[in-house]
Amino acid sequence: MTAKISLRHVGQEFSVRASKGAPNSLLVLDDFNLDVRPGEFLTIVGPSGSGKTTLLDLLAGLAKPTSGQVLVDGHEVTGPGQDRAVVFQQYALFPWRTAARNVSIGLEGTGLNRRQRAAKAGEFLDLVGLSGFSERYPHELSGGMKQRVAIARSLAYEPDILLMDEPFAALDAQTREQLQDELLRIWRETGKTVVFITHGIDEAVYLGQRVAVLSSRPGRLKAIVDIDLGEREGESDIRSTTRFVEHRHKVWSLLHDEVQAAQNAGHRKVLPDGSAPDEVPANHPLLAQRSAA
Amino acid sequence: MSTLTTPRPAAPPITPPRRDLPLPPPLHKKRSTARLALRGSLTTAATLLWKSAAILLFLALWEFGPRYLASESTRVFLPPLHEVLIAGTDLIATGALQSHIAASLTRSAAGFSIAVVLGISLGLVIAWYGPLHSFLNPLLELFRNTAALALLPVFTLLLGIGEESKITIVAFAAFFPVLLNTIAGVRTVDPLLVRAARSLGLRSPALFRKVILPSAVPTIFTGIRMAGTSAILVLIAAEMVGAKAGLGYLITNAQNSFLIPQMYAGILTVSLLGLLVNVLLVTAERHFSRWRTSINT
d(CA A249, CA B253): 89
β-bridge pairing A75-76 and A67-72 = antiparallel
Dihedral over Cα of B207, A118, A93, B195: its sign: negative
The DSSP letter of residue B23 is P
Q: State residue A22's pLDDT score.
A: 56
Listing DSSP states for A119-130 in one string gives HHHHHHHHHTT-
Q: How many CB atoms lie within 10 A of CB A123?
A: 14
* Contact yes or no for A94 and B214 at CB 8 A: yes
- DSSP β-ladder status, A41-45 and A210-214: parallel
Instruction: Specify the CATH number for B81-296; select among 3.40.640.10, 3.40.50.10150, 1.10.3720.10, 2.60.120.10.
Output: 1.10.3720.10
Residue A87: name the closest of A220, A218, A183, A228 by CA: A183
Q: The dihedral of CA B266, B272, B273, B274: what is its sign?
A: positive
Give Cα A54 distance to the centre of its chain: 10
Instruction: Compute the average pLDDT of residues B143-163.
Output: 84
| Shortest CA gap A129–chain B (Å) | 6
Q: Please give, rounded to a whole number of angstroms, the shortest distance from the CA of B8 to a CA of chain A.
A: 8
- Backbone angle region of A32, left / alpha / beta, with phi > 0 → left and psi within -120 to 50 → alpha: beta
Mutate: best of B200, B213, B294, B297, partner A, most A CBs <10 A:
B200
Write down the pLDDT at residue A42.
92
Residues 6+ apart with CB under 8 A from A13: A25, A26, A27, A28, A66
A135 touches chain B (CB under 8 A): no
| Averaged pLDDT, B34-51 | 82
- Write down the pLDDT at residue A91: 86
Give strand pairing partners of A219. A29
pLDDT of residue B115: 93
**For chain A, how are helix, strand and coil distributed in percent, rounded to 5?**
40, 20, 40
Share of chain B above pLDDT 90, in %: 17
Please name the residues in contact with A117: beta carbons below 8 A apart, sequence gap of 6 or more: A104, A107, A108
C-alpha–C-alpha distance, residues A20 and B79, integer Å: 68
Q: Which CATH class is domain A5-83+159-292?
A: alpha beta
Q: In 10 A of CB A76, how many CB atoms?
A: 12
Mean pLDDT, chain B, whole residue set: 82
CB A129 within 8 A of CB B7: yes
C-alpha R_g of chain A: 20
* Calpha distance B259→B88 (Å, rounded): 11
What order of strands is seen across the sheet that includes strand A67-72? A24-36, A5-16, A67-72, A75-76
Domain ranges of chain A: 5-83+159-292
Find the mean pLDDT for residues B50-70: 87
Contacts of B128 (CB under 8 A, 6+ apart): B186, B208
Please name which of B242, B233, B243, B238 lies closest in space to residue B278, comparing C-alpha atoms.
B233
With an 8 Å Cβ cutoff, are B201 and A94 in contact?
no
Dihedral angle of Cα A110, A114, A119, A125, to the nearest 10 degrees:
80
CB of B101 closer than 8 Å to CB of B270: no
pLDDT at A92 over 60: yes
More confident residue, B17 or A10: A10
What is the pLDDT confidence band of residue A21, given thresholds at 50, 70 and 90? low
With a CB cutoff of 8 Å and minimum separation 6, the contacts of B286 are none
Compare all CA atoms of chain A with the CA of B190 and give the residue at the minimum distance.
Answer: A92
Tens digits of residue pLDDT in A94-142: 988 888 888 888 888 777 888 888 888 888 888 888 888 888 888 888 8
| Mean pLDDT value across residues B269-294 | 83
Q: Tell whether the model's pLDDT for residue A291 goes beyond 70.
A: no
* CB of A90 less than 8 A from some CB of B: yes
Edge-to-edge order in the sheet of strand A41-45: A84-87, A161-165, A193-197, A41-45, A210-214, A221-226
The whole-angstrom distance between A254's CA and the closest CA on chain B is 32
Strand partners, A14: A26
Using an 8 Å CB-CB cutoff, list chain B residues near A95.
215, 291-292, 295
DSSP structure class, residue B146: S
Residue of chain B nearest A96, judged by CA positions: B291
Least confident interval from A43-52, A156-165, B226-235: A43-52
Q: So what's the pLDDT on residue A271?
A: 53
> Does pLDDT of A251 surpass 50?
yes
pLDDT of residue B286: 84
Residue A292, pLDDT above cutoff 60: no
Pick from A194, A202, A200, A221: nearest CA to A85: A194
Question: Chain B contacts of A88, Cβ < 8 Å?
Answer: 192, 195-196
User: Is A153 part of the contact surface with chain B (CB cutoff 8 Å)?
Assistant: yes
CA distance, residue A85 to nearest chain B CA (Å) = 7
Which has the higher per-residue pLDDT, B127 or B8?
B127
Partners of residue B220 in chain A, C-beta under 8 Å: none
- Residues of chain A contacting residue B196, judged by C-beta atoms under 8 Å apart: 86, 88, 92, 94
Asked whether residue B165 carries a pLDDT value surpassing 80, the answer given is yes
Nearest residue of chain A to residue B290 (CA atoms) = A96
- Rounded to two decimals, the ipTM of the complex is 0.79
φ and ψ at residue B145, rounded to 5 degrees: -90, 5
State pLDDT tens for residues B210-257. Answer: 898 888 888 899 899 989 988 888 888 888 887 788 888 889 988 888
Average pLDDT, chain A: 80
The closest alpha carbon to B105, from B286, B289, B236, B261, belongs to: B236
Cβ atoms of B267 and B81 within 8 Å: the answer is no
Residues in chain A closer than 8 A to B199 (CB atoms): 60-62, 80, 84-86
Cβ pair A85:B217 closer than 8 A = no
Minimum CA–CA partner of A93 in chain B: B193
pLDDT at B293: 57
Cα(A131)–Cα(A123) distance, integer angstroms: 8
For A188-208, what is each residue's pLDDT tens digit?
A: 888 889 999 988 888 888 888
Taking CB atoms and an 8 Å limit, are A129 and B7 in contact across chains?
Answer: yes
B contacts of A137 (beta carbons < 8 Å): 290-291
Residue B88 has pLDDT above 80, yes or no: yes
Yes or no, beta carbons of B199 and A96 under 8 Å apart: no
| Alpha carbon distance B294, A1 (integer Å) | 50
Q: What is the dihedral of CA B270, B272, B277, B282, to 10 degrees?
A: 140
Q: Residues A84-101: what's their mean pLDDT?
A: 88
User: Quick check: B2 pLDDT over 60?
Assistant: no
pLDDT at B24: 45
Interval B95-140: pLDDT, tens: 888 888 898 889 999 999 999 999 999 999 998 888 888 898 889 8
In whole angstroms, give the CA distance from residue B297 to residue B282.
Answer: 17
Q: How confident is the model at residue B297 (pLDDT cuts 50, 70, 90)?
A: very low
The residues with which A41 forms a beta bridge, in sequence order, are A194
Q: Is B279 exposed, middle or buried (0-12, 13-18, 19+ CB in 10 A)?
A: exposed
